[in-house]
Chains A and B, each alone.
Chain A
Amino acid sequence: MQNKHPEKLLDEKGLRVDGRRLDQLRPVRLEVGTLDKANGSAYIEQGKNKILAAVYGPREAHPKHIALPDRAVIRCRYHMAPFSVDERKSPAPSRRELELSKVIRESLEPTVLTDLYPRTTIDLFVEILQSDGGSRCAGITAASLALADAGIPMRELVAACAVGKVQGQLALDLSDIEDKQGEADLPVAYMPNSNLVTLLQMDGILTLPEFEKGLNMAIEACKTLHTMQREALKNKYSQIREVAEEKEEPEVIA
């Protein structure tokens, strides 16, 4: 168990509470197609974050009046499980969860080719099983994979990562303690091919040069995450291919 109230967020060598360098991401594990019942799903572990994303649709819009005549409606629910944090969280959607649902939806809307499916909805569920700071970003990374897994046409995968400031220094991919005790937090969602930023929030205070440097750090991290997303997606399908080809081999020998 890590110390919940460390005196310093950076040690003498400039390493962080969990031993990372300032420009280092937490270990990330991505999995595609985790759930059977959803049309598309993905699972992400980023540090101690554990997040499931599920996509249903495009499906018939219910209630009917929310449907748009020219494109699909994307609905998103970001939700934290009651056991995802230290103190039990009420399962009812909080103000914060409502906001995050909105920003996750808006960060993914530009990539989805919604005009292909008029009068339908695409429902997106981001479920935080364990939270460790930066869950909106990890949620976006997982959700865009889930959308791709559902076979929904999209321009490209969206990756997201936060940059923050701890003890006057810019640090990549803040953990929970760094987020709470640090001086600033800057979550960024990014589409690498189109070079578009689809989410940019900030709390705390950064000077203009710090902001610029931080944004670039976050974009670089998003590019790294994007490569991992691509690999995870392709991995799922090459695995099935390998299994099928293995089955074939003994027969070839015989």
Chain B
Amino acid sequence: MVVLAEPRQVVAPGELLAEGDHLLGENSYKIGNQIYSACVGLLEVDGNRVSVVPLKGGYIPHVGDIVGGRVMDIGLSGWTVDILAPYVAMLPASETEGPRGPRRRDLSEMFDVGDMVMAQVLSFDRTRDPLLTAKGPGLGKVSSGRVIQIQAAKIPRLIGRKGSMISMLKRETGCQISVGQNGIVLVWGRSPEGERVAVEAIYMIEREAHTRGLTDRIREMIAKSPRMEEEVAKQAP
């Protein structure tokens, strides 16, 4: 039971992480009783579990994920949605909140080609393409706000431990932020200035995701932003 590398350290593929009776986490593999890293990332040790948090990489769907996607095509009974994964997702009409039954109206009235939707992954098991649902709070067509795209690997950092980063962002910028696990982030607030600051902060998190003390630095950056100061001044009187 020896962890050989230091936690939060950048590791390369093939690097020996730990020896002994550890549990295998994400992005690592085992030969005998030695655990190696399978990608570039930060080493994370959680009790007995050794895993690597990737610094880069595309999005692979998991059941339960909230994702943002663009409608690519309309079929007879649903839509095909591009969710920025290697697999095209299907959103069946039965999984939307709308009129049911055979007399259902034209599907394009609900979501048209090119529309942005927030949805949840209902099922995905590697043999079949992911199935989405747009039923639920915060899901469905995106009709206002800003949509930005960041690397999917940086989403955990944007959310932070127990949501610390994202709740700070919402508080400090006064914006609503909806995060898709695939890297699509939706920002909407009362003022375009606040939105702009939030977007800037999100891009900064993407760039500096693997540095220490990021939450504090982001908070400072937002407080110092001239646009935000104007906002505060405007609201004060």
A residues adjacent to B (C-beta < 8 A):
39-40, 57-60, 69, 111, 113, 116-120, 148-157, 191-193, 229-230, 233-234, 237-238, 240-241, 244-245, 247-248, 251
Contacts and interface: CB of A to CB of B under 8 A. Distances in A.
B217 A244 contact: yes
Contacts of A248: 213, 217
Contacts of B214: 244
Contact of B56 (A149, A155, A244): A149
B57 A117 contact: no
Given A151-B40, A153-B39, A233-B40, 13 more contacts: A59-B58, A59-B86, A60-B88, A154-B39, A155-B36, A157-B13, A191-B14, A230-B12, A234-B40, A237-B10, A237-B40, A241-B210, A241-B211
B69 to A, nearest CB: 14
Contacts of A117: 60, 86
A110 B40 CA distance: 18
B6 interface: no
Interface string B1-34: 0000000001011111000000000010100000
A69 B127 contact: yes
Contacts of A245: 211-212
A68 B63 CA distance: 22
Contact of A193 (B36, B87, B88): B36
A33 B61 CA distance: 25
Contacts of B29: 113, 155
Contacts of B88: 60
A191 B14 CA distance: 9
Nearest to A155: B14
User: Looking at chain B, what size class is its interface with the partner chain?
Assistant: 20 to 34
Contacts of A57: 58, 86
A238 B213 CA distance: 15
B110 to A, nearest CB: 25
19 contacts: A118-B127, A119-B126, A120-B86, A120-B87, A148-B39, A149-B40, A151-B39, A151-B56, A152-B39, A153-B39, A154-B14, A191-B14, A193-B36, A233-B12, A234-B40, A237-B55, A240-B211, A244-B214, A248-B213
Given A119-B87, A230-B15, A244-B217, A155 B210 contact: no
Contact of B14 (A39, A40, A193, A234): A193
A118 B127 CA distance: 8
A240 B208 contact: yes
B87 A151 contact: no
Contacts of A69: 127
A251 B220 CA distance: 10
B10 A238 contact: yes
A251 B213 CA distance: 13
Given A154-B39, A240-B208, A244-B217, A148 B86 contact: no
